């Protein structure tokens, strides 16, 4: 039995009121005559290349209009408009699997695959994801939001298809396409996949990797791969000879054509030294202009129909932000944008407010580095996102961008630490997950003083579950001898940055949230905190409730503000609580925890992290010391399910970590 997915060609063949509602949901309906008739990719199949070019123009305009109203990843999506049109016109999606690495360039793909009527809900509460998502559409065969997974996933799908065909003669193998950017291909996982593809068996012959080379991922690409791709591009004079030889050889008798092909390959090897991709077992094609459908469509058709030449890598050259001048001229600023004016390109600015936690970390790290020339900074292709762009400007010789290679970043930092250098490894919480084995084996096991500045800790808003930093307390806190801190505000972040810089006894990490601080006045000089010591922010007042003994709330991280709001309400109700900023999850301030447990009836812990984190550490200590028997302990954590994209405020309310939820938990515990 053929188990291939049915092509949902009729999913949007609407009529009557349904069709009218579909049209009403698209503000630009009527402006784009060809795009208005594309309800699914099959509608592209019979269009001429000239008509596909018009579809691409209309699709680009629609994408710009969409992101101007929703915000999101603009530059990457504009760079792949022609590629998206060509892929869906040539291949039979979703029977042929199309995988977009990372997924932030998939907005045009979503528009062409039956989601145009919903595209203006992009990244909005209850709306479309900003990345590909299997549960959202059959046209998204693999979910992606972290980079460099597409080749591995594509190879897995291709090999699985071959297995199905082997045991079911009615099953027809399908093409599998993996689109990966020049930034994403800097990650080791991409090479692991390519290395395996050469020996993965006949199923790999259906794998086509498309390298989208725009000379930029988020910021400028780094490393030898960037240089290598530039060298390939500089060999354009050879491309003309190769194309001419192929055309001539195709007119010759088959036996001569085969010899000519061997000669051509030999000549190519002599002239280019062989390509890295071919050494890895891929048949390399390119580079070709990724914005020229006159080139793209015929090449893709040839690759679609090719047989038994092994896995293929098609190298296309594109421009990030192509077709929209503001995005072309400033690719990094238009990688991810807020709402903007389509005509001027001016982005909507958020109301003036306090500086972000990221910028506070950046400034304090610069102060520390000015005093200590042994301090260096390491990022994995996120210089602006982690605030290290300022460090690079001031200390270029002490700044290292290793590309999208978190595993290498961690061990690279470990190597530096062995020689007395003080490395700060600044990585988003959700990205540090990729380097976890290296954190454990190469840093913690050897007790090396690497400083981990963990940005985007907690829930992150519109990027949703894929980028939420909810697990680092649990996955770092279970490791012996690591110091784990979390600031409750921007002043505390200053102190913790300085504390990390001064700490040489072993690994130390501090996690801080996305977004602005509280607007507190910053001290001129940061303090060096005593390791493992918290602070009481508010002492328990007189209790007037029906059950004396009082409430204590231990906060780890930036939920302290919500705890103080909750304290006001609890005080009004007759329960003036004790509020503690614990500062450290490891080592835990056991003296303070013991004191709190012996003098309160209810003890609540709260953190911007998953189960198994700070609350679990406190509970284990209490249980081990017989203090859990006489106290009502209530841990408040991010619940055990993924929280979809929304505003951060709404996400924390959904998670039950806002002031209202704290009050409810406290009263239920004290009166229950």
As annotated, the active-site residues are: 320, 406, 434
Beta partners for residue 553, in sequence order:
579, 604
Beta partners for residue 556, in sequence order:
607
Q: Is 665 left (phi over 0), alpha (psi -120 to 50) or beta?
A: alpha
What residues contact 279, with CB distance under 8 A and at least 6 apart? Answer: none
CB burial of residue 315 (10 Å; 0-12, 13-18, 19+): buried
What residues contact 46, with CB distance under 8 A and at least 6 apart? Answer: none
Tell me if 582 sits within 8 A of 530, measured CB to CB. Answer: no
Q: Which of 8, 23, 84 is nearest to 52 (CA)?
A: 84
Beta partners for residue 346, in sequence order:
none
Structure tokens that stand for 627 in this block:
């203090």
| Rounded Cα–Cα distance for residues 2 and 6 (Å) | 10
Helices vs strands, H then E, count in the chain:
25, 19
| Rounded Cα–Cα distance for residues 444 and 452 (Å) | 12
- Supply the DSSP string of 236-280, one letter for each residue: HHHHHHHHHHHHHHHTS-HHHHHHHHHHHHHHHHHHH---HHHHT
Structure tokens that stand for 566 in this block:
């909750």
CA 421 to chain centre: 29
């Amino acid at each position: 039995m053929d188990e291939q997915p049915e092509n949902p060609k009729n999913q949007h063949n609407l009529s009557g009121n349904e069709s009218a509602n579909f049209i009403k949901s698209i503000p630009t309906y009527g402006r784009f005559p060809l795009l208005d008739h594309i309800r699914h990719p099959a509608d592209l199949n019979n269009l001429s290349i000239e008509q596909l070019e018009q579809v691409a123009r209309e699709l680009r305009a629609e994408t710009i209009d969409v992101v101007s109203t929703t915000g999101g990843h603009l530059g990457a999506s504009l760079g792949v408009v022609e590629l998206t049109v060509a892929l869906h016109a040539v291949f039979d999606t979703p029977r042929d699997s199309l995988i977009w690495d990372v997924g932030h360039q998939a907005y045009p793909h979503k528009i062409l695959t039956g989601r145009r009527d919903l595209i203006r809900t992009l990244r909005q509460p209850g709306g479309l994801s900003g990345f590909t998502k299997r549960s959202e559409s059959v046209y998204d065969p693999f979910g992606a939001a972290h980079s460099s997974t597409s080749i591995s996933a594509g190879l897995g799908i291709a090999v699985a298809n071959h297995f199905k065909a082997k045991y079911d003669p009615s099953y027809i193998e399908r093409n599998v396409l993996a689109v990966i950017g020049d930034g994403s291909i800097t990650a080791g996982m991409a090479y692991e996949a390519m290395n395996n593809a050469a020996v993965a068996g006949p199923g790999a012959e259906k794998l086509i990797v498309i390298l989208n080379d725009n000379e930029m991922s988020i910021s400028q690409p780094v490393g030898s791969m960037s240089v290598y791709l530039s060298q390939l591009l500089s060999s354009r004079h050879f491309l003309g000879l190769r194309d001419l030889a192929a055309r001539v050889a195709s007119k010759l008798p088959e036996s001569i054509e085969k010899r000519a092909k061997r000669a051509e390959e030999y000549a190519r090897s002599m002239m280019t030294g062989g390509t890295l991709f071919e050494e890895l077992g891929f048949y390399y094609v390119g580079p070709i202009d990724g914005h020229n459908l006159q080139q793209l469509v015929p090449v893709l058709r040839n690759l679609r129909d090719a047989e038994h030449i092994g896995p293929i890598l098609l190298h296309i050259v594109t421009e990030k932000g192509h077709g929209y001048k503001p995005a072309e001229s400033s690719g990094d600023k238009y990688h991810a944008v807020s709402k903007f004016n389509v005509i001027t390109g001016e982005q909507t600015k958020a109301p003036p407010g306090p500086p972000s936690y990221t910028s506070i970390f950046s400034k304090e790290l610069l102060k520390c580095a000015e005093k200590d020339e042994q301090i260096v900074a390491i990022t994995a292709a996120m210089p602006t996102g982690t605030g290290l762009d300022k460090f690079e400007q001031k200390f270029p010789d002490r700044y290292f961008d290793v590309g999208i290679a978190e595993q290498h970043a961690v061990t690279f930092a470990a190597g530096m630490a062995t020689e007395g250098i003080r490395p700060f490894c600044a990585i988003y919480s959700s990205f540090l997950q990729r380097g976890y084995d290296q954190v454990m084996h190469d840093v913690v096991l050897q007790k090396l003083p690497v400083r981990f500045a963990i940005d985007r800790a907690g829930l992150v808003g519109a990027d949703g579950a894929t980028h939420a930093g909810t697990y680092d307390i649990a996955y770092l806190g279970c490791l012996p001898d690591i110091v784990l801190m979390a600031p409750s505000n921007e002043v505390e972040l200053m102190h913790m940055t300085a504390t990390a810089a001064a700490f040489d006894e072993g690994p130390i990490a501090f996690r801080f949230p996305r977004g602005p601080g509280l607007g507190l006045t910053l001290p001129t000089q940061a303090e060096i905190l005593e390791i493992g010591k918290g602070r009481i922010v508010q002492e328990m007042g007189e209790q007037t409730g029906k059950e004396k003994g009082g409430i204590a709330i231990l906060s780890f991280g930036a939920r302290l503000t919500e705890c103080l709001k909750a304290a006001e309400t609890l005080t009004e109700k007759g329960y003036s609580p004790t509020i503690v900023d614990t500062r450290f999850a490891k080592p835990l301030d056991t003296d303070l925890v013991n004191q709190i447990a012996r003098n309160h009836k209810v003890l609540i812990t709260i953190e911007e992290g998953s189960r198994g984190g700070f609350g679990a550490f406190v509970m284990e200590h209490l249980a081990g010391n017989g203090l859990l028997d006489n106290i009502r302990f209530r841990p408040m954590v991010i619940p055990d399910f993924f929280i979809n994209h929304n505003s951060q405020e709404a996400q924390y309310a959904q998670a039950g970590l806002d002031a209202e939820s704290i009050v409810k938990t406290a009263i239920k515990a004290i009166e229950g």
